[in-house]
Amino acid sequence: MRRDICEVGEPQRAIRSVVEYACGKSVVAVAGNHDLYTSNPEDKRTNNDFIRLMRAEAQRQDDAADDDIVHVLAADEPVCWIGNVRFVGLTLWTDWMLAGRWTPNPELMPAEVWAAHARAMARHWHSGPEEYRKIRTERGIWTPYDAVAEHAHERAILMDELASPHDGPTVVVTHHPPMPEFVDAYQGMIGMPWWAAAFYGSDILRAMPDQLRPDLWICGHVHVPCDIQCGRTRVVSNPVRGGKFDPDAVVEV
């Protein structure tokens, strides 16, 4: 069962950790937000640089095992097969349209307005998430607008891949959760901003036609274990952080 692991500035170490933990079993990995963090302000590596580091380490592990055991999936290469099981994986950046979810009266403003207010607050150097200080793209520092664009991009990729015929089970692996119910575990926590739902997940699975939904969806990011059924899809998170990681968890598809 996948766990949520990162090594800031050295994502290749995370790949080694997961391979060691898997004890020879196949590994499907996607980058989380922390995997893309630079180690200091002088570190100019981009998010794509970190993906390349993860894949280079995966290749080293494959070479050492003389087998194709590690699969690092991302938007540019989102699919792999293990036996007859199709895996579709990417980070799945979150949906800012969820920003008003925790407000007392979310219907007072259109979702687009809540999202705009939330993005304005998230851009603040001191109070905003570390993403907007520690992740870089080829254009510069990662911004909420990059997250909006990447969410739309990855959402389209997922829908297209899930619409492709496949004779066997399909498992989606993403860092961020595909349902806002996973995010609600944080509602009311001290220090949690009102717009945090937009930072932690999306509503992609519930909005998806049931015939496109995968058999299983495994996600991370939240530090609370979850197991939810949505139509034909079981959605599971088994994070290391939070103290409730189950090392013996097994999910059948």
In a domain, 82, yes or no: yes
Residue-level pLDDT, tens digit, the chain, 253 residues: 444 456 677 888 889 988 988 888 899 999 999 999 998 989 999 999 999 999 999 999 999 999 999 999 999 999 999 999 999 999 999 999 999 999 888 888 889 998 999 888 887 756 678 888 899 999 999 999 999 999 999 999 999 999 999 999 999 999 999 998 888 888 888 888 888 889 889 999 999 999 999 999 999 888 778 889 999 999 998 876 555 666 666 778 8
* DSSP structural state of residue 93: -
Domain that holds residue 98: 11-237
63 three-class SS = helix
> What CATH number does residue 85 fall under?
3.60.21
Integer CA distances (angstroms), 179 to 44, 101, 191, 229, in order: 33, 12, 22, 10
Residue 79 has phi, psi (to 5 degrees) of -130, 140
How many Å apart are CA 211 and CA 224, to the nearest integer?
28
In a domain, 249, yes or no: no
Q: Return the half-sphere exposure (C-beta side, CA atoms, 13 A cut-off) of residue 153.
A: 13
In a domain, 247, yes or no: no
In a domain, 6, yes or no: no
Domain count, the chain: 1
